[in-house]
């Protein structure tokens, strides 16, 4: 097994030096699922919650989460994201799928930004709906695709726990 990239020669946590890496176009797509009562999904879709439009707020939160990733994950590089998109797909009767895509031209990938964006969007949905459904579950947060960099394109295989 190769040495983890975030450990220095002494085995201490360390930010990876990307100064010698080439700039390339990079993309990452991640997802998260929120499972809830059917009535909660109905309320989200009909905008029938007192806190307002859940998906509009969660979309902004997902974008903000991706942009602030390096403030939350200690060894992530701050990246000048060029595009963050947040999509929602209702899967009645009880599931809401969140998909976040991040793009950058840079020296390091945007996987963590996409994963953070999906997680923050899911947490925002929980926050906005908890008054009517405290039993919601956030599940299956994972990377679906990454492009760019030395390792090229990677796509999750069917059966790896993702849709």
Q: What are the residue numbers of the active site?
A: 127
Three-state helix/strand/coil letters over the chain: CCCCCCECCCCCECCCCCCCCCCEEEEEEEEEEEECCHHHHHHHHCCCCCCCCHHHHHHHHHHHHHHCHHHHCCCCCCCCCCEEEEEEEEECCCEEEEEEEEEEEECCCCHHHHHHHHHHHHHHHHHHHCCCCCCCEEEEEEEEEEECCCCCCEECCCCCCCC
């Amino acid at each position: 097994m190769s040495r983890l990239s975030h450990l220095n020669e002494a085995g201490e946590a360390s930010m990876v030096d990307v100064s010698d890496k080439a700039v390339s176009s990079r993309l990452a797509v991640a997802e998260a699922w929120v499972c809830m009562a059917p009535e909660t999904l109905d309320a989200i879709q009909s905008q029938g919650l007192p806190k307002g439009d859940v998906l509009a707020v969660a979309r902004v939160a997902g974008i903000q989460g991706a942009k602030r990733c390096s403030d939350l994950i200690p060894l992530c590089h701050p990246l000048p994201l060029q595009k963050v998109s947040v999509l929602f797909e209702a899967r009645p009767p009880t599931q809401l799928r969140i998909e976040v895509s991040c793009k950058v031209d840079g020296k390091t990938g945007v996987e963590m930004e996409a994963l953070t964006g999906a997680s923050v969007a899911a947490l925002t949905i929980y926050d906005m709906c908890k008054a009517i459904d405290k039993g919601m579950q956030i599940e299956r947060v994972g990377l679906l695709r990454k492009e760019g960099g030395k390792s090229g394109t990677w796509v999750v295989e069917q059966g790896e726990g993702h849709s």
